[in-house]
Amino acid sequence: MNLATTIITFLFVFGGIVWFHEFGHYFFAKRAGILVREFSIGMGPKIFSRQKNGTAYTLRWLPLGGYVRMAGWGEDENSLQPGQPVGLVLNDAGKVAQINTSSKIQLPNALPVEVTHSDLEKALTISGYVAGLGGNVQTYSLEHDATIIEEDGTEIRIAPIDVQMQSAKVWQRILVNFAGPLNNFILSLVLFILLVFMQGGVQYTNTNTIGEVVADSPAAVAGLKSGDAVLSVDGEKISSWPDLTTIVAKSPEKALELEVKRENEELAITLTPKAVESNGTTVGQMGVYAPLKTDLASKIIGGFQLFADNSLAIFKALGSLFTSFSLDKLGGPVMMFQYSQEAAQSGLRTVLALMAILSVNLGIMNLLPIPALDGGKIVLNILEGVRGKPISQEKEGLVTLIGFVFLFGLMILVTWNDIARYFFQ
């Protein structure tokens, strides 16, 4: 049951943030007039597909996020090979409306053709030998919105040059590339705000008043109550929540003398903080929470503050990679699985917190100016805008390939390091 819960949590967290990232690309590509040939939920072999408004919506077996396939973007393929057998379905005007390249699907009204030449982007023609028509090459024109059935049976639109990524304006391409990380930021912010609402409000720390006392904790045993104001600890004046927590953290299993004000009465209470492990260090814990601000504005502002704090922490972590690089500072799917296991054991709030942190992490990492990442693509878009002309596809492809090889190699090293830490330590 624990393993099943962990797997479900991992798929929910990892799949959710990746799907939301890809949906950002999808939404803004559609708005820019770029053909989205496929939007997939999951990876691997196809379970189901349906084509609507030029996009094939597919469901695939591996529920690990998904992907969006835009015309002329990334590894999108839009060609047929000489000698390739295909079936062509013609419309009433004699133009090709459908190209079948799959051996799994038979179209009874399709012309069997052995391709000699094709241009699915500009001329929109396909030439080849037609069975039963002798040895002459026949050439057919394609409908602009013709579809092609791929080997796995997925039917997608062909991608004429006017609906490809590079035909959109530079600012539109920048927005499409930025939209994935933007969606991750939006998801993270919404989840942090939701967490504050689930918590009941945002902690107010500029006070010495206790908000909640945990049952059976050292504070409860000592007689502290919600609403008590801690005036001093061992004679040291307390004016804010950090003042209190700092002293308590430094005093595990040490008796502390607290001066407490309860309504109009001042009390002397002896409390011994419990010793707990935190990041490899033993600290004291008394079992109290700061009071909460419960008004709507405070909750929303609190969500924004959590988002900002976690974003800043990620930037600091990135900075430390440049000053003292270590694979232990990076994590891949194996580490995410481990975090999912810990979160699943702690409950829904911890799962949502993990999802929020990983989502903003994914957004920031994808904006790094590394070829093959969204940030690298944005840099190329900006360079094109400055130069006033596009970078050659050969150069862009080479730069992207270098970035992909770098990221793939780093992913292998990080994954191996995660496996070593997770299974052998």
Return the active site residues.
Answer: 22
Handedness of CA 363, 187, 12, 154 (dihedral sign): negative
Residue 142 dihedral angles phi and psi, to the nearest 5°: -105, 145
Residue 42 dihedral angles phi and psi, to the nearest 5°: 95, 170
Burial 290-313, CB ≥16 within 10 A → b, else e: bbbbeeeebbeebbeebbeebbee
Query: Which one, of 251, 421, 406, lies nearest residue 336 by Cα?
Result: 421
Q: Nearest 5 degrees, angle CA 92-CA 97-CA 101?
A: 135
Instruction: Locate 42 and state its tokens.
Output: 């999951």
**Cα–Cα distance for residue pair 305/203, rounded to 1 Å:** 11
**Cα–Cα distance for residue pair 389/396, rounded to 1 Å:** 13
**Cα–Cα distance for residue pair 187/193, rounded to 1 Å:** 10
The answer to whether the beta carbons of residues 214 and 288 sit under 8 Å apart is yes
Indicate the DSSP class of residue 201: S
